[in-house]
Amino acid sequence: MSEIVARLGGKVLGDSETEIFQVATLEKAAPGNIAFLANAKYRKQLADSRASAVIVAESDAGLTGLPRIVAPNPYSYFAKLSALLNPLPAMPPGIHPTAVIDAGAVIAPDAHIGAHVSIGAAACIGAGTVVMAGCVIGERTSVGTQCLLYPNVTIYHDCVIGHQVILHAGVVIGADGFGIAMDEGRWLKIPQIGRVVIGDQVEIGANTTVDRGALDDTVIEEGVKLDNQIQVAHNVRIGAHTAIAGCVGIAGSATIGKYCRIGGSAGILGHLQIADNVEIASFTLIGKSITEAGSYAGVYPFSKNDEWRNNAVHLRHLGELVKRVRAMEKEIELLKGEKI
């Protein structure tokens, strides 16, 4: 533990020579593990934990006799310690013989290019970047340094991926946006000639799709974190350090601010603007722009099916109900008036 605080800061209370091999939850920790207490509701678990040590805030330092590291933000301390104890396996530099690399592509000598990868003409792969098996990277696309592309990622032509970007398996970057125009009973395709531009330290979850711009670019700023199965339409801009949970759909040309947090399966309609620091609840459709930071929601509360049915049926007459209430209020005023 003394070695840990030497590298990550904080201070040790208790035996600072305790040996730590891995992080764990309070509940599942075994000897040699260090757990963390970041949420008051897990205090009960602290007493029963088999962890050899724990990371706590100053205010919780007295709750346990275990060897402990005291740090202002135990959860982020835990994140850093876990990264220290669980480094990614080093991938050997070089290009797998089954990869198909266009003669005009530029691959950094220490990049790792896995089996059955295809890389198009004039594409560029930066130093230390890992491209796993089955990825396909289009012509003139640039991938920065120290990126990690998991298997079967597809990036279309002419896109720009920053540094230290992580793309999980099945991600598709740069597919055509949904641009169509009705012409004499048929949809004409609008060529999608913009790009996707992704900033540094962005992480994108499995099977998420980010479409290329119609004319201008789709932009994901630095530090954005996207979960799995999200759909980002053409010409969307997502501000720096915004985090979006799984299955969210963002329609074309929406602009989302910085440091927003969007819950799972939420949606944002096209051409809207969302301010910085907006929090959107899961399953909420944002149907007009939000100009003020804060938390927003719009979810139908669930109940037993019968109860739901008995209540929901009246939603189709809510306007009428409001009119009936207004009418009664007038009647009552009249009745009260007659009294006097």
Q: Does 7 bind its own copies (CB under 8 A)?
A: no
What's the number of CA atoms in the CB half-sphere (13 Å) around residue 320?
5
**Quick one: 318 exposed, middle or buried, by C-beta within 10 A (0-12, 13-18, 19+)?**
exposed
Question: Least distance in Å: CB of 177 to its own copies?
Answer: 9
Minimum CB distance to its own copies, residue 273 (Å): 15
Closer to its own copies at the Cβ: 64 or 152? Answer: 152
Q: Are 257 and 241 a contacting pair, CB within 8 Å?
A: no
Residue type, 317: H
In whole angstroms, give the CA distance from residue 22 to residue 35: 9
What's the token pair of residue 254?
């929406």
Q: Which of residues 31-50 bind its own copies (CB under 8 A)?
A: none
**Eight-state DSSP code of residue 60:** G
Nearest approach, Cβ of 13 to its own copies (angstroms)? Answer: 22
Answer for which of 176, 272, 277, 289 binds its own copies (CB under 8 A) is 176
Kindly report each contact of residues 125-134 with a partner whose C-beta sits within 8 Å and lies 24 or more positions away, as own/partner.
126/163, 130/91, 133/96
Residues in contact with its own copies, shown as a per-residue x/- string from 247 to 266 under the rule CB under 8 A: x-x-x------------xx-
237 binds its own copies (CB under 8 A): no
Stretch that binds its own copies, among 1-9, 45-53, 57-65, 171-179 (CB under 8 A): 171-179
Q: Does the protein bind its own copies through residue 200 (CB under 8 A)?
A: no
Pick the closer one to its own copies by CB: 16 or 190. Answer: 190
- 338 counts as binding its own copies under rule CB under 8 A: yes
Which candidate in 234, 241, 271, 314 is catalytic?
234
Cα distances (Å, whole numbers) of residue 107 to 23, 120, 262: 36, 11, 36
Q: Do the Cβ atoms of 150 and 132 come closer than 8 Å?
A: yes
Q: Does 30 bind its own copies (CB under 8 A)?
A: no
Which DSSP letter does residue 290 get? Answer: B
- Whether residue 234 lies in the annotated active site: yes
Name which of residues 131 to 170 contact its own copies (CB under 8 A): 132-134, 136, 139, 150-152, 154, 156, 166, 168-170
What six digits make up the tokens of 170?
A: 């099945």
Indicate the residue among 47 and 285 with the shorter CB distance to its own copies. Answer: 285
Query: Rounded to whole angstroms, how far apart are CA atoms 194 and 162?
Result: 17
Tell me: does residue 98 bind its own copies (CB under 8 A).
yes
Task: Retrieve residue 337's tokens.
Answer: 């008036």
How far apart CA 274 and CA 224 sit, in angstroms, is 15
Nearest residue (CB) to its own copies, 16 versus 243 = 243
Contacting range for its own copies; rule: CB under 8 A; set: 11-19, 46-54, 62-70, 227-235: 227-235
Q: Which of 24, 66, 130, 149 binds its own copies (CB under 8 A)?
A: 24
Check if the beta carbon of residue 8 is closer than 8 Å to that of residue 77. yes
Residues that are catalytic = 234
